[in-house]
Chain A
Amino acid sequence: MRRQFLEIGVLALAIGVATVWLGWWTVPLVGAAWGVARRGEGYPALTVAVSASLAWVLLLAVTSLQGPVGDFATAVGGVMGIPGWVLIGVTLAFPAVLAGTAAAVAEKLVTLRG
């Protein structure tokens, strides 16, 4: 359990750094790499999905320290026809889906080839 938390923490850090330094597209790459590295062990897709979401939660938290993210979410959500909390939810689900599905696909492909 402790190891899992540690893994999630390290992965979140890696995804966070990669997102900031390289871009959002690194999220599925990290997910795929994790899926390959941990194939056959537990739930790598779930682990990396949670990590990706956590990474973006932390980054969004940093952003919210510099501006009114909550009110702003309501305003931008209004433009897109959705409540603000849905926009925040989509923001956090997006990296999770990218990382998790990339891990699952990579894991399965490597397994099938093996």
Chain B
Amino acid sequence: MKLELRAVVRLGVPAVVLAGTLYVGYVGYAGDRPVPVPPLGPFLHPTTGVWAVAAQDELPARVALRIPGTRDSVRILFDDRAVPHIFATRVEDAYRALGYLHARFRLFQLEIQTRATKGTLSEWFGEQALESDRSQRALGLAWSAERDAAALDSASTNGRFVLAYADGVNARIDELTSRDLPLEYRLLDATPQRWEPVNTFHFMKRMSYTLAYGHPDRLFERLTERVGAEAAAALLPLNSPIQEPIVPTGRNAPRFDAAPLPPPRLLAADHVATGSSAVGVQTFAGPPPGGMAATQASNNWVVAPWRTANGHALLSGDPHLDLTLPAIWFEAHLVVPGQLDVYGVTFPGAPPVVIGFNRDVAWSFTNTGADVLDYYEETLDDLEHPRNYRLDGAWRPLERRVEVYRDRKGRVLAIDTLYHTHRGPLLFHGGRARSMRWTVLEEESAVTAFLGLATARSVDEWLRLMQAFRAPIQNGVVADRAGEIAVISAGRYPIRPAGKPGLEVWDGTSSDSDWLGFLPPARFPFARNPAQGFLASANQQPLDPATAPFYLGAWWPSPWRAMRINQLLRADSAVTREAMQRYQTDPGSARADLFMPAFLDAAKRQRAAGDRGPTLALAARLLEEWDRRYTRDNERAILFELAMDALADATWDELLDPDDSTGQRRIFTPPGSVLASLLRHATSVWWDDRRTETVESRDAVLAASLVAGYDRALEKYGAPGEGGWRWDRVRQANIYHLLGYRSLSALNLPVPGGPGTISPLEGAGTEGASWRMVVELGPEVRAWGTYPGGQSGNPASPWYTDRLDRWIDGALDPLLFPRTPEDLPVERIVATFTVRGGQ
């Protein structure tokens, strides 16, 4: 018996261990991990598993490629910044090669971006991603992308380019071996899907979603319930209280519209609707509550030759977006003699150069943030299972589409039925059904427009091409070698009934609520060769309503960056390209210029009035030492920022969320420009903190906020002078990997800049300049640029973060712009790819 037991143990133990090891080798382990451990056998394989990623050579010195569809051979020379210079004889072949390169360097990025819009992330992440998928599909983005793809004329020029691009992506997918698979696919135990041309449209919809999805109706409703309609309208003003518009007005300074804020009419907390319950076939979370649209903080400006040191027009562009690794951009240069010679940044997922320059013209964009979305309260025949909606006294059939959500094993996680009225998708919230009309869901034009811009030969031609641009509405600045400069805020601006703004929820039962059309291009905000000699946009309100009183949108961001850019350009009558570069990361702040004196003056007056508190004197003295610059070694900026936080807390007590148990969260924080406007009214009732017995004045609140800011700084960062207050120790940029993995991210980056600076650093530091470029339009176009990260999506690659250090320092690299392969200095060439023709 003893012997038998020993034999069983001797066989059983290794058998169990072997079985377990084989199981994790073949199947992996899910457990309750958000991302399962992949099958360890293939994953750990020392030559083809995850380790192969470290050995992937993305840029071997010489490579011969086969890309089906390529008619004539293509040469791709990579310079020492890993930028491909694609020399082709046919434009289609050039875009085919670009598709291949996007896939070679950024395959995972291509797919995850597409999945995010298609709402198929749950096929990778299961239940975790289900809500995100459902909300994306409910918005109709995928549906809309499919319509655009179906309408694509494969015989048209741009249709052929999109198809050629897809061929290129698929050529890379087809040649992938187990050694070539990107890291993320291995971690997720996934394989790349083939690239369909519709994916390009999915990607463009994704960008539009990022840049043009926003509507204030729900927030406006809540604010109205909290403080009354009049005050809500003043806190969420149609027009910015500080006017420094994109289209110059002839003034040399911003215009302040300091109308008094109407007093709040507070309702009891139990009267405030929570708006959180939802019925219907799918729920609708609504747009982000932070503004008309997520505008990020892009800048662009152009300077006319007569204001530059060497007499050539200069253009600067730095679009700010979510910072990710790999970066959102991929830099490329495409040359097809006589047809195309364009350099700039492309989105992996789409063929065009979006921001860049050619031999004659340079351009860049910022987001306009116009109001391009409206909701309509619809009447349905059945809220649970609707078939018709009411319009002009009759029932009209809803268009239906069934959406199925699956996990990685193909199991169905959920099924939704989506409905469309003639306006757009129907969304359910709080027992109500609202349809949405959104220009982004209508015919796509961005790919076509961007492809066209690459060939523009002059500002005139570029502006003409921009007239066809629809969404997301963009502020484009442009300059050419002839010295012309211009700005245009182009896209589809809805014209609403009776000229009303689009802030309300419209009555869906009447077609009288429908848009009447779109603003004709002749009425787009536009300026060309202004007397001031420069033009700048930084997401601010495009037109001063005092001179152009028609509605383009609301909730414009405070124009601090625009004010600072204009201030710098006004003061510089001989701008150099070095100055343009320096301005991109200028640490000065128009916001600080405005608020810091207010704090100091209030402290002085309070002390004169008898406030003898020692902290106020000390805090005021410390703040006075600040040069109002957010440099990395600055030790006073943090005091100002914490005082500003305390000021918002004390001033906007009326906006505290009654549903928040902590009593700290506000339903909304009005923009800085509204607060700046309030500064001019010392006795406004808004200054009074209703939580206290006393009635506070402006000066009392400012002085108390300064003291509170000092106390917070002391508590969080220690005493001043001990180094804890250094700006780069308290605020950093954080660039996360697309999947959020910290070990693949670049975190705590010490960059200059703060809230409201030209290169702003706010919140979690996850947004910033996604591309910086300066172009000089002389006899030969010269350019400098960089973006955070690198060309490669492979974390083991030397090209993954090779540009980070220079980006942190605000430095730009000279961009090589050869006309022919022979023009590229041999010592700068690191790799040559040849695509054989006749495929």
- List residues of A whose CB falls within 8 A of some B CB: 19-20, 23-25, 28, 45, 56, 59-60, 62-64, 66-69, 71-72, 74-80, 90-91, 94, 97-98, 100-102, 104-105, 108-109, 112
Report 16 cross-chain contacts, Cβ distance below 8 Å, ordered by A residue.
A20-B47, A28-B18, A59-B46, A69-B54, A72-B51, A72-B54, A75-B744, A77-B743, A78-B741, A94-B41, A97-B18, A98-B25, A102-B18, A105-B15, A108-B11, A109-B11
State in angstroms the CA–CA spacing of A104 and B49 once bound together: 27
Q: What sequence of 0s and 1s flags, for each residue 28-62 of chain B, a beta carbon within 8 Å of any chain A beta carbon?
A: 00000000010011101111011111111100000
Q: Is B1 an interface residue (CB 8 A)?
A: no
State in angstroms the CA–CA spacing of A68 and B26 once bound together: 27
The answer to whether A79 touches B743 (Cβ under 8 A) is yes
Q: What sequence of 0s and 1s flags, for each residue 455-478 of chain B, a beta carbon within 8 Å of any chain A beta carbon?
A: 000000000000000000000000
Q: Is B22 an interface residue (CB 8 A)?
A: yes
The answer to whether B796 touches A97 (Cβ under 8 A) is no
Which 7 pairs of residues, A with B, have the shortest CB-CB distance?
A78-B743, A67-B54, A66-B55, A59-B46, A101-B18, A104-B14, A72-B54
Residues of A within 8 A of B53 (CB): 67, 72
The answer to whether B21 touches A98 (Cβ under 8 A) is yes
Name the distance in Å between A60's Cβ and chain B's nearest Cβ.
4
Residues of B within 8 A of A91 (CB): 44, 46, 51
Name the distance in Å between B9's Cβ and chain A's nearest Cβ.
10
Closest A residue, CB atoms, query B744? A75
The answer to whether A75 touches B10 (Cβ under 8 A) is no
Q: Is B425 an interface residue (CB 8 A)?
A: no
Given contacts A24-B25, A24-B44, A94-B25, contact A78 B10 (CB under 8 A): no
The answer to whether B22 touches A28 (Cβ under 8 A) is yes
Name the distance in Å between A59's Cβ and chain B's nearest Cβ.
4
The answer to whether B41 touches A25 (Cβ under 8 A) is yes
Q: Range of interface residues on chain B? A: 35 or more
Residues of B within 8 A of A75 (CB): 743-744, 795-796
The answer to whether B50 touches A105 (Cβ under 8 A) is no
The contact of A78 among B42, B51, B744, B796, by CB within 8 Å, is B744
The answer to whether B55 touches A98 (Cβ under 8 A) is no
Q: Is B183 an interface residue (CB 8 A)?
A: yes
Given contacts A19-B45, A24-B45, A98-B21, contact A63 B744 (CB under 8 A): no
Given contacts A79-B744, A80-B37, contact A105 B21 (CB under 8 A): no
Q: Is B394 an interface residue (CB 8 A)?
A: no
Name the distance in Å between B425's Cβ and chain A's nearest Cβ.
36
Residues of A within 8 A of B44 (CB): 24, 90-91, 94
State in angstroms the CA–CA spacing of A21 and B37 once bound together: 25
Q: Is B498 an interface residue (CB 8 A)?
A: no
Name the distance in Å between B58's Cβ and chain A's nearest Cβ.
11
Extra pairs beyond A72-B53, A76-B187 (6, CB < 8 Å): A23-B45, A72-B51, A76-B50, A94-B21, A105-B14, A112-B11
State in angstroms the CA–CA spacing of A79 and B183 once bound together: 11
The contact of A72 among B7, B11, B17, B796, by CB within 8 Å, is B796
Q: Is B742 an interface residue (CB 8 A)?
A: yes
Name the distance in Å between B741's Cβ and chain A's nearest Cβ.
5
Residues of B within 8 A of A24 (CB): 25, 41-42, 44-45, 49
The answer to whether B55 touches A63 (Cβ under 8 A) is yes
The answer to whether A79 touches B187 (Cβ under 8 A) is yes
The answer to whether B22 touches A98 (Cβ under 8 A) is yes
The contact of A104 among B10, B42, B51, B743, by CB within 8 Å, is B10
State in angstroms the CA–CA spacing of A40 and B42 once bound together: 33
Given contacts A20-B47, A79-B744, A108-B11, contact A98 B56 (CB under 8 A): no
Q: What sequence of 0s and 1s flags, for each residue 279-323 of chain B, a beta carbon within 8 Å of any chain A beta carbon?
A: 000000000000000000000000000000000000000000000
Q: What sequence of 0s and 1s flags, for each residue 510-544 of chain B, a beta carbon within 8 Å of any chain A beta carbon?
A: 00000000000000000000000000000000000
Closest B residue, CB atoms, query A20? B47
The answer to whether A67 touches B18 (Cβ under 8 A) is no
Closest B residue, CB atoms, query A65? B55
State in angstroms the CA–CA spacing of A94 and B7 once bound together: 25
The answer to whether B17 touches A101 (Cβ under 8 A) is yes
State in angstroms the CA–CA spacing of A9 and B171 once bound together: 41
Residues of A within 8 A of B744 (CB): 75, 78-79
Residues of A within 8 A of B14 (CB): 45, 100-101, 104-105, 108
The answer to whether B15 touches A66 (Cβ under 8 A) is no
State in angstroms the CA–CA spacing of A91 and B52 once bound together: 13
Residues of A within 8 A of B743 (CB): 74-79
The contact of B56 among A67, A77, A101, by CB within 8 Å, is A67
The answer to whether A67 touches B11 (Cβ under 8 A) is no
Closest A residue, CB atoms, query B41? A24
Closest B residue, CB atoms, query A61? B46
The answer to whether B54 touches A64 (Cβ under 8 A) is yes
Given contacts A79-B187, A101-B15, A101-B21, contact A60 B51 (CB under 8 A): yes
Of A64, A66, A74, A90, most buried by chain B (CB within 10 Å of CB) is A66
Closest B residue, CB atoms, query A104? B14
Residues of A within 8 A of B21 (CB): 94, 97-98, 101
Name the distance in Å between A15's Cβ and chain B's nearest Cβ.
11
Residues of A within 8 A of B55 (CB): 63-64, 66-67, 69
Name the distance in Å between A55's Cβ and chain B's nearest Cβ.
9
Closest B residue, CB atoms, query A91? B44
Residues of B within 8 A of A112 (CB): 7, 11
Residues of A within 8 A of B11 (CB): 104-105, 108-109, 112
State in angstroms the CA–CA spacing of A64 and B10 once bound together: 38
Residues of B within 8 A of A80 (CB): 37
Name the distance in Å between A67's Cβ and chain B's nearest Cβ.
4
The answer to whether B25 touches A60 (Cβ under 8 A) is no
Residues of B within 8 A of A100 (CB): 14
Residues of B within 8 A of A23 (CB): 41-42, 45
State in angstroms the CA–CA spacing of A105 and B8 once bound together: 11
Name the distance in Å between A104's Cβ and chain B's nearest Cβ.
4
The contact of A108 among B7, B47, B52, B183, by CB within 8 Å, is B7
Name the distance in Å between B740's Cβ and chain A's nearest Cβ.
10
The answer to whether A25 touches B25 (Cβ under 8 A) is yes
Residues of A within 8 A of B15 (CB): 101, 105
Name the distance in Å between A36's Cβ and chain B's nearest Cβ.
14
Q: What sequence of 0s and 1s flags, for each residue 174-188 of chain B, a beta carbon within 8 Å of any chain A beta carbon?
A: 000000000100010
The answer to whether B54 touches A63 (Cβ under 8 A) is yes
Residues of B within 8 A of A104 (CB): 10-11, 14
Residues of B within 8 A of A28 (CB): 18, 22
Residues of B within 8 A of A67 (CB): 53-56, 796
